[in-house]
Structure 1
Amino acid sequence: MEYSFWGGLMLMVLMADPLGNIPITISCMKGVPNNRRVRVLFRECMIAMGMLLLAMFFGRPFLAAVGLSDAALSIGGSVIVMLMAIRMVFPTKEGVFGETPGGEPYIVPIAIPAIAGPSTIATIMMLAASQPDRLFEWGLVVFITCAASFAVLASADWLERHMGEKLTLAFERLTGLLLAMMATQMFLGGFSSYLESLPKHGL
């Protein structure tokens, strides 16, 4: 399945789910001084971007080494996306990514798995594997996704005060519904590719 630049960007931003990560960010930043919060978030977003770029550049050789096809990546990614969508539509008290540790965050849980989680890593690997001649575009998608996450998470306190818990939850559930539909499309695309790869026997 081929994605346009804007389609890939929309998918990555939805997978990163900046609005859904607001509660995680607020919880993790409680013990961080106000004058350090922006720097900590910037560091976490840079780490997440590095992880996603590594997955983009070296994901395909890794898949080839372990014998996984593009169809398997697409179908497996769709399962991860669907599970994430279900947890967003039907949230639990632990949140989308489960319980998070306290103190100043370092890599976990904001960089990984909130931004560069299994879903976003699988997505960028899928995009790069399906169209390896467009790595510059996919790298730009990663950069914009992490920049959008930083902008939203840096204003997490302000957004929570002005949007309120109910509106934030409504946006997260809407995002979950969109992800569920995208997961279905990813599954159908992967299944179609698998059928095309099967040897054709005459009747």
Structure 2
Amino acid sequence: MESSFPIISTAILIFFILDPFGNIPLLLSILKRTEKKQRSKIIIRELFIGLSILMIFLFFGEQFLSVFHLDTQAITIAGGIIFFSISFKMIFPDPNNENIFSKKDNSEPLIVPIAIPMIAGPAALATLLVLAKTNPNHVGDLLISLLIAWGATFLVLFFSPNLYKILGDKGLNALEKLMGMLLLILSVQMFIDGVRGLLPTFH
């Protein structure tokens, strides 16, 4: 009997990768020169564009990987390494990392940099590629997980001005570090699963 797919835990993993709390200062910096009336409209539009891109990679990611003849175990191990790197940067951010997406004019952002790479960034796309490859029979469940994670991200970013006022810089940094720690644990587990899957091939 086929085991059920962990929709909630997968949604949490995707949510960690999307890192909405870590993106709040960046988002507010991008939109600080736009009119307050336009901010909500811009956030909603960019989030839906980002979701569309994520869904494309979810449904066609396996075909993309098959072109390069990549094994499931290799993808799982590579994903664990990628997530480890992401989590490490979340826990120990670079103090000299400047915000390259800060805008110096009043133009309205379109697709870049909010939809890409803030929402549909390399980490999120790589995550969906890994999940689609390692769970080819659960694409529908993966879509539900993606929608849950995206919905939570939507709420966080849409109400980000209020969250920023409540939590402040220290609160947001603490949340991002907590998410980084949890992602670190998940990345190690993914690496172990990939190695365990390779062991029978050495007999």
Partner residue, 2:137: 133
TM-score (norm 2): 0.89
Q: 1:183 is matched with which residue: 176, 187, 192?
A: 187
Q: CA separation in 2, counterparts of 1:190 and 1:106?
A: 38
Q: 2:71 is matched with which residue: 69, 72, 89?
A: 69
Q: CA separation in 1, counterparts of 2:110 and 2:82?
A: 24
Conserved? CA contact 1:15–1:120, under 8 Å: yes
Identity rate, percent: 32
Task: Kindly provide the amino acid, as one letter, of the partner of residue 66 in structure 1.
Answer: F
Q: CA separation in 2, counterparts of 1:83 and 1:199?
A: 28
Q: 1:77 to 1:144 in 2, by over 3 A?
A: same
Q: CA separation in 2, counterparts of 1:122 and 1:98?
A: 23
Q: Deviations over 1:137-177 (max 9, x none)?
A: 11122222222112111111111111121111111111111
Which stretches in structure 2 are left out of the alignment for 5+ residues? Answer: none
Query: How many matched pairs?
Result: 197
Q: CA separation in 1, counterparts of 2:150 and 2:96?
A: 23
Structure 1 residue 99 and structure 2 residue 103: aligned?
no
Give the 5 Å matches for 1:120-199. 120-196=124-200, 198=201
Shift of 1:49: 1.0
RMSD, matched Cα: 1.9
Q: CA separation in 1, counterparts of 2:135 and 2:193?
A: 14
TM-score (norm 1): 0.89
Dislocated runs of 4+, deviation >3 Å: none
Partner residue, 1:41: 43
